[in-house]
Amino acid sequence: MSENRQPLLEVSHLKKYFSASGGGVVKAVDDVSFTIYKGETLGMVGESGCGKTTCGRTAMGLYKKTDGQVLFDGQDVHTLRGADKLRFARRAQIIFQDPYASLNPRMTVADIIAEGIDIHGLAKDRMDRTEQVYRLLDLVGLNKEHANRFAHEFSGGQRQRIGIARALAVHPEFIMCDEPISALDVSIQAQIVNLLVKLQREMGLTYLFIAHDLAMVKHISDRIAVMYLGTVVELTRSERLYEKPLHPYTQALLSAIPIPDPEVERKRQRIELEGDIPSPIDPPPGCRFAGRCALACDRCRQESPALREVEPGHFVACHLV
């Protein structure tokens, strides 16, 4: 799929470290590389605290990188200044995790959605601005009557639709979806994912979709990157990951997803992980998953595995594959 596609976001050896309060360094993102091609969705999954949100925010320039490089359409995100930075802010947008915290409670829905339109001067006049807001509300499944209300008057799913409309207002090419469904009821999650798929199809959008729910990520992603303790341990096409997971951590994650077939579910072998996740302040030498992996050998505990291509388009960081 990716051979004849044009790269939009290229992340190379990205690192983001934070200073810990008691001394030491938290290695939140430690040498992560991936490419997102125009028009595709890269899903990024892993347990809470694995660094996926930090990785996404550093790639978007919200956090200053510690090391590595992020190119957006060939331009280094972390060196952009002035008009170039403003142009990037228009081309790349974010849908945040918490629809309750990410909307200003003092602003009407119309003003929230039109904030980007105002900053980038995308409306000819007041009437044009209002018409754009109405069109965006309709696009995400809300009514124009909602425009003059405040965020607290809406449900979680409706607020997330407002957040999506705000992101779309400046006609972006790329959207980072930072766990956009994790704060929502299960019944609403599928609606939001289906809306994102529909918008991508109609508008040619490119997504980085961050989540910890592997079952939901499968429906929206072309490729999936699995993160563990600040590193990418496996990266391949969505269907390939589910058919043939190669990394022991990915296998354990997938074994935990229930299958809606009692016969199949009864025969399945659940992979139970032993031990605790190591601290990102002082990660152990070698593979970070070695302490919880039943297959780990001495090499795993001493030498950190590189992410390598083991079959076309399938990358794994494991000595045993």
Which H or E element spans position 93?
strand 92-95
Torsion over CA: 183, 19, 277, 314 (sign): positive
Does residue 173 form part of some domain? Answer: yes
Does residue 252 form part of some domain? Answer: yes
Could you tell me the residue range of the domain that residue 102 belongs to?
7-316
Asked whether the beta carbons of 45 and 211 are under 8 A apart, the reply is yes
Does residue 321 form part of some domain? Answer: no
pLDDT of 270 reads 74
Which H or E element spans position 132?
helix 126-139
* Cα→Cα distances 34→114, 133, 233, 309, Å: 33, 35, 12, 12
Cα-to-chain-centroid distance, residue 183 = 15
Asked whether the beta carbons of 65 and 15 are under 8 A apart, the reply is yes
> 215-243 burial, b if ≥16 CB within 10 A, otherwise e?
ebbbebbbbbbbbbbbbbbbbbbbebbbe
pLDDT of 280 reads 85
Q: What domain count does the chain have?
A: 1
Query: How many C-beta atoms lie closer than 10 Å to residue 123's C-beta?
Result: 17
Q: Which candidate, 156, 154, 207, 199, places its Cα nearest to that of 178?
A: 207
Does residue 2 form part of some domain? Answer: no
* Cα→Cα distances 10→53, 68, 311, Å: 17, 11, 21
pTM for the predicted model, two decimal places: 0.93
Does residue 188 form part of some domain? Answer: yes
pLDDT of 1 reads 47
Does residue 161 form part of some domain? Answer: yes
Domain of 153, CATH number, reads 3.40.50.300
Estimate the crossing angle of helix 126-139 against helix 156-168, to 10 degrees: 130
Query: How many C-beta atoms lie closer than 10 Å to residue 122's C-beta?
Result: 16
Sequence letter at residue 163: G
**Residue numbers of the chain with a pLDDT score lower than 50:** 1-2
Sequence letter at residue 224: I
Residue with tokens 């079959």: 311
* Angle CA 31–34–40, to nearest 5: 155
Does residue 1 form part of some domain? Answer: no
Q: What is the pLDDT of residues 292-320, one digit of tens each?
A: 998 999 999 999 999 999 999 999 999 99
The rounded distance, in Å, linking the Cα atoms of 177 and 186 is 17
